[in-house]
Chain A
Amino acid sequence: MTTTVARPGRRAQAPVRPPKGGAKDRWVRRAPLLPALIFAIVITQVPFLYTIYLSTLSWNALRPGDKPFVGFDNYVTVLTDSRLRSALVNTVVLTAGAVIFSLVLGLVFALLLDRKFFGRGIVRTLLITPFLVMPIAAALLWKHALFNPTYGLINGIFGGSTDWVSSYPKAAVITTLVWQWTPFMMLILLAGLQSQSHEVLEAARVDGANAWQIFRRMTLPHLRQYLELGALLGSIYLVNTFDAIFSITQGGPGTATTNLPYEIYLTMFRKFEYGEASAAGVIVVILTIIVATFALRVISSLFKMEENR
């Protein structure tokens, strides 16, 4: 696993010869891109435009008859509904909790794996394994085999009869997510650690810096962009968390673990309020665009940073 942050670079690698020449040459260059581009637009963008249209209709699938145009009514309903606000808060808490804890634990594991020791390859394989377990299988495993109050492994080993899922629903979901996503963070951070210059570290050691000083002053700043990348990609994946909530808590108790994807799912397939679900979907996309604009800036600056090195 050799390591550097890749450069989709303007420097040596990418477009050496900027497209020139006539319309024909431009189309020849474009042709291989078009199938994928059209496919992505048709499958992801067109449905979204249709979602915007649906969000202006008063449409409950259980209610026969017409679907009158109601303008922004659905948005008003959704935005004034306390359920959506609590789903938003839950999404932030669950995503942030899972990302932060998996980053910290991933950093610990990456530091452990950054030294040579007997069986390092095997330990790395062990540590990535949770990431490869099917998410819903992992969720059910934690729910039934570990968290269960009577025969769960946690109470079985440590005693007590805590019902982990009902007493600490958010923590239970976050634990499961952290267990699955720590390997992902570990791999990214390990790549970062291994891209450090060994000479510089050795020089610092010879100059009498202790391990903590080296970690604090050299390793951590070097890792910063890898931490950012891990946090960013982790958030992109984890904000969509559905499996774990669907299977561990069903959003409960009450709405304690209902996040946005699960709330929209309920509006769509339990209440059949298609108009409201669409409005909520549009709001989520607007929020995502805000976060993503910021995120893309981070990605671009990561790439630039690497290019200028």
Chain B
Amino acid sequence: MRALSTPAAENRSKKRGFQNSLWGVAAWIAGIVFVFPVIWMVLTSFKQENAAATNPPSWFFAPTLAQYGQVFDRNITPFLLNSLMASVFSTLLVVLLATPAAYALSLRPVAKWSDSLFFFISTKMMPVVAAFLPVYLLVKHLGMLDNIWTMVILYTSMNLPLAVWMMRSFLLEVPREVLEAGEVDGAGLLTSIRKIILPIVSPGLAATALICFIFAWNEFFLAVNLTATNSGTSPIFLVGFISSEGAFLARLCAAATIVSLPVLIAGWVAQNKLVRGLSMGAVK
């Protein structure tokens, strides 16, 4: 039986090897075609304006950093710093609020933990516009329009549900037996957090923080309506390009590359945890 099936199996595996390389070629082509707009964006950002807006497209050109210089001359730096502040501080605040909450919904659960959990996700389902007017009026009333701390607070509430769900899914991975053993040995809450829980969930904590950072960095609706010259974030810098006249394509591509770069890096670093974060911990 075995002797009979061997040649067939060998044949099959040879055939599959060939199929696999064909498969790889198909996947590579799909990947490159799909990502091509990004490649094109980066290529265009190194062109002179007259080489950028051509038909047929120019594939060979002398690369220049002129457009990046232009973008910095037009003062993109404050926008980047505002984004950095809003994203970093809101992420810190989210982690500080969400981690204890996730703990109270997983390891030492409150009585109606699932109700609270679903309350958090339901706030994420409510469209931002629906409750935006009162927020706008209040912010205006308090004189907090165009203030970066307003953005910090709003981004915190935007990312809170995601972070609670995500942290909860990581905390559930802490083995209960180890926790209980620690308690029997007389470890206090702080000790077990420091010695048992943190080492296990710290990769999850980092992934949660990175995903909150990404969403805060990219947020547009709140930023365009609540900020202006002082606290405009990076997406606001791009608004000027919506209906630009004249030659601006290469400069737009340079600006788009700069503002996207932090998230590209964060996303590539966190890519193994990305799916878990985006599905709020539902898919590991």
Contact = CB atoms under 8 A, between A and B. Distances in A.
Contacts of B260: 132-134, 137
A2 B101 contact: no
Contact of B283 (A19, A31, A157, A188): A188
Given A32-B103, A130-B35, A3 B26 contact: no
Given A113-B27, A145-B249, A281-B132, A130 B20 contact: no
Given A132-B263, A151-B54, A278 B133 contact: yes
A147 to B, nearest CB: 11
Contact of A40 (B120, B132, B168): B120
Interface string B118-146: 11111111111111111111100000000
Given A50-B134, A269-B225, A182 B278 contact: no
Contacts of A124: 271
A37 B201 CA distance: 22
Contact of A2 (B109, B110, B118, B284): B284
A288 B127 contact: yes
B40 A153 contact: yes
Given A126-B35, A146-B37, A153-B40, A43 B157 contact: yes
Contacts of A191: 275, 283-284
Given A117-B20, A117-B21, A123 B157 contact: no
B235 interface: yes
Interface in B244-269: 248-249, 252-253, 255-256, 259-260, 263-264, 266-268
A240 to B, nearest CB: 5
Contact of A140 (B114, B135, B242): B242
A229 interface: yes
A247 interface: yes
Contacts of B220: 135-136, 242-243, 246
Interface string B80-112: 000000000000000001101101111011110
Interface in A130-181: 130-138, 140-142, 144-146, 148, 150-151, 153, 155-157, 179
Contacts of B27: 112-113, 115, 117, 120, 123
Interface of B: 20-21, 23-24, 26-28, 30-32, 34-35, 37-38, 40-41, 44, 52-57, 97-98, 100-101, 103-106, 108-111, 113-114, 116-138, 153-154, 156-157, 160-161, 164, 168-169, 172, 176, 214, 217-218, 220-221, 224-225, 234-235, 238-239, 241-242, 248-249, 252-253, 255-256, 259-260, 263-264, 266-268, 271-272, 274-275, 278-284
Q: Give 10 nearest A-B pairs by CB, closest first.
A: A117-B24, A32-B100, A36-B101, A137-B256, A33-B104, A43-B157, A132-B267, A187-B275, A47-B134, A126-B31
